[in-house]
Amino acid sequence: MDLLGKLLVISGDDGRVSGRIIETEAYTADDPASHSFKGPTKRNEPMFGPAGHLYVYLSYGIHCCANIVTGGIGDGQAVLIRAIEPVVGIDAMRERRPGRPDRQLADGPGKLSAALGIDLSMNGLDLTDPAASIRVFDDGTRPPSDPIVGPRVGISTALDRPWRFRTPER
């Protein structure tokens, strides 16, 4: 499941907001930089659940970051959503991120969670459930044939794994 180019849609109290996924990072259980590396714990439990579920964690005590579980049960594999391009509900995102230029509304894992209203209460949600408040849609946009591949960000080990993928500017 290639996530680049897909739509992330959140249905909240004040309507619906969505964005196109333009940057991701892969994390696996045999990866020293992954939360799942040391085995299942209370926090990373969703990572060891079925694919298509959401894994949200609190980063640096302040920000929420959203992952989509990609492995099967017990695999401990997920993809961090690092950036999205606002598509629907840009006004709502501006309200949630006052004072920020549009370019910086959701161009980081913590920023996109704030802009879209993703928080810890959404941890573990089943994105394949039609009734879920957060879902991933394929609107026909093809994933980039020439994604930018590079080292991951914000980690201190396994820096040699080029598992960061970004949609190029058009």
Q: Is residue 102 classed as helix, strand or coil in its secondary structure?
A: helix
Contact call for residue 58 and DNA (CB under 7 A):
yes
Amino acid at 153: V
Q: Which residues on adjacent β-strands are paired with residue 165?
A: 24, 149
Among 130, 156, 160, 169, binds DNA (CB under 7 A): 156
Question: Tokens 């950036």 label which residue?
Answer: 83
Give the angle subtended at the CA of 12 by the CAs of 61 and 73, to the nearest 5°.
Answer: 65
Contact call for residue 65 and DNA (CB under 7 A):
yes
Contact call for residue 109 and DNA (CB under 7 A):
yes
149: exposed, middle or buried (Cβ count in 10 Å: 0-12, 13-18, 19+): exposed
Site map (CB under 7 A) of DNA, residues 5-44, x = contact: --------------------x-x-----xxxx-x--xxxx
Among 9-17, 110-118, 124-132, 158-166, the segment contacting DNA (CB under 7 A): 110-118
Which residues, at least 6 apart from 139, have a Cβ–Cβ distance to it below 8 Å?
6, 7
In this structure, what DSSP letter does residue 47 have? G
Among 9, 21, 54, 78, binds DNA (CB under 7 A): 78
- Which is closer to DNA, CB of 68 or CB of 132? 68
- Contact positions vs DNA (CB under 7 A): 25, 27, 33-36, 38, 41-44, 47, 55, 58-63, 65, 67, 78, 80, 97, 99-100, 104, 108-112, 152-156
